[in-house]
Structure 1
Amino acid sequence: MAPTNIFKFRAATLAAGDERWFVEAWDSTLPYLAAIGSTNQWQYIPSNLPGAVDKVKKMVADSDISAEKYPVSSPAILEGGIPPPDWARAYVASIDVKKEDIPIALADKYSSVDKDVVSIPVGAMILQGKSSEYVRSVIPEQDEKEPFIYLLFLMTDHRAGAFAKGSGSALLGIAKEEVKNLGLKRLCGDCWRGNGRRLVGYYEGQGLMAIGDFDVPKNEQDSWEGCVVEWRT
């Protein structure tokens, strides 16, 4: 049996240049998605689009601002029992790897590091205090009766190969702890439902339940097929 990866977690920050790594890791998902028949999940290379790069930078910047404004996640920051709409948390999962074992796809990136063991980022997650606009046919911006935090972004760096295995599940564990720390009972998020709902099945395997489908028009003929998922304490 392969050993279980042991991850460390930290806040993603602009100061650490994490927005650049987020985009590189996002790019790394495209060959994997093509290999499993999920090309339509992302139809562009994020690093080639200034809008995508700016979007990621804003995600990390929002987390920086929120971490300063709300340094501790607790019920004390809730407004009438509801997370502040500007609450956000960006996380990076990393793993310690012997320098000689670093995957080829990342070797150049760490070749100049003068250490025997290198900490490499392998996964990323962004949480926020409101839902995304495109899912509001299924859930509102926020639910006053059953408030939630929203999983905006979850990603694995496929350049890391086997060292990234399990990072998504580990990050979801952190998201569930954030829910509990805030005194809430719900974690919501969304994912692509194409390719036989394969990604929906992944989230269901992590304890989240599909609660509604939606479609985001891309042009007159096509739309992006999504599904809202939910975990409850």
Structure 2
Amino acid sequence: MEITIRKGGADDVPAIVAMLDSAVVWLNAKGITDQWGTEPWSARAKAVSRVEEIVAEGTPWIAEIDGVPAGTVTLTPHPAPYVAPAGEPEVYVHILATDGRFHGRGVGAALLAHAVEETRRQGLSLLRVDCFAGGEGRLVEYYERQGFTRTEPFTVGDWPGQVLEVRV
């Protein structure tokens, strides 16, 4: 099994939303409903619009296994609106998701390694991401295993989040 990563574009939004839908099903099957809820992204017009905006603002990347979209990440030069800018040029990870059929195959790790290389290619030294900090911090720990370090926690409504960074 080889993971290939290709640059995506606006035409990939339906595939990205489908991967997010699949990730919700996978999370819910694990009993995790407070990260992304229980409703598919595709059923929420605001969520689909947000994906379209992020893809338009940044560079989407699609990980494929045997030609099938298995995961995605979009890199932008700025964080989400609820996170303070870094005060220096940065690359920011948005919409990191793995299709539920491909969990446990290293897709997320491959996309994050690609994000590190893209940051380096752009001549920048800061890569940041934010994630759900609930669920006993499992996602925060995942990013730490990928080389990220916790910086500032935040909340949006009752949703606990954590910003992490890696220097490249």
TM-score greater than 0.5 by the shorter chain: yes
- Counterpart in 2 of 1:188? 128
What is the identity, as a one-letter code, of the residue corresponding to 1:92?
Answer: I
Q: In the alignment, what sits opposite 2:51? A: 56
Q: CA deviation at 1:148?
A: 1.6
Q: Aligned partners of 1:36, 1:198: CA distance in 2, in Å?
A: 12
**How far does residue 58 in structure 1 lie from its aligned partner after superposition?**
2.5
Q: CA deviation at 1:27?
A: 0.8
Residue 125 (structure 1) aligned with residue 73 (structure 2): yes
More strand by share: 2
Give identity over the alignment, percent. Answer: 36
Measured in 1, the distance between the counterparts of 2:19 and 2:81 equals 24
Asked if residue 89 in structure 1 is aligned to residue 59 in structure 2, the reply is: yes
2:90 aligns with one of 144, 148, 151: 148
Measure, in 2, the Cα distance between the counterparts of 1:42 and 1:125.
Answer: 16
Alignment of 1:32-111 (within 5 A): 32-43=26-37, 44-62=39-57, 88-96=58-66
User: 1:177 and 1:186 mapped to 2: Cα distance?
Assistant: 11
Matched length? 167
Unaligned runs of 5+ in 2: none
Tell me the CA shift for residue 10 of structure 1.
1.1
Is 1:13 aligned to residue 9 of structure 2?
yes
Aligned to 2:143: 203
Q: Residues 143-193 of structure 1: CA distance to partner in whole angstroms, max 9, x if unpaired?
A: 13xx321112200011x346x711110011110011111211110010000
Contact 1:37 1:195 in 2 (8 A): no
* 1:31-82 CA distance string (max 9 Å, x none): 22123332100113211111111222223333xxxxxxxxxxxxxxxxxxxx
Tell me how far 1:142 sits from its aligned partner: 3.9
- 2:154 and 2:117 mapped to 1: Cα distance? 27
Instruction: Report if aligned partners of 1:38, 1:194 keep a CA contact under 8 Å in 2.
Output: no
Give the TM-score taking structure 1 as reference length.
0.68
8 Å CA contact 1:128, 1:152 repeated in 2: yes
Query: Take 2:121 and 2:54, find their aligned partners in 1: how far apart are those partners?
Result: 21
Seen in structure 2, the aligned counterparts of structure 1 residues 179 and 194 have a Cα distance that, compared at 3 Å, is same
Query: Whose Rg is larger?
Result: 1
* Alignment RMSD: 1.5
Aligned to 1:99: none
Off by >3 Å, runs of 4+ in structure 1? none
Letter in 1 for 2:162: C
Q: Normalized against structure 2, the TM-score is what?
A: 0.92
Instruction: Give the counterpart letter for 2:110 in structure 1.
Output: A
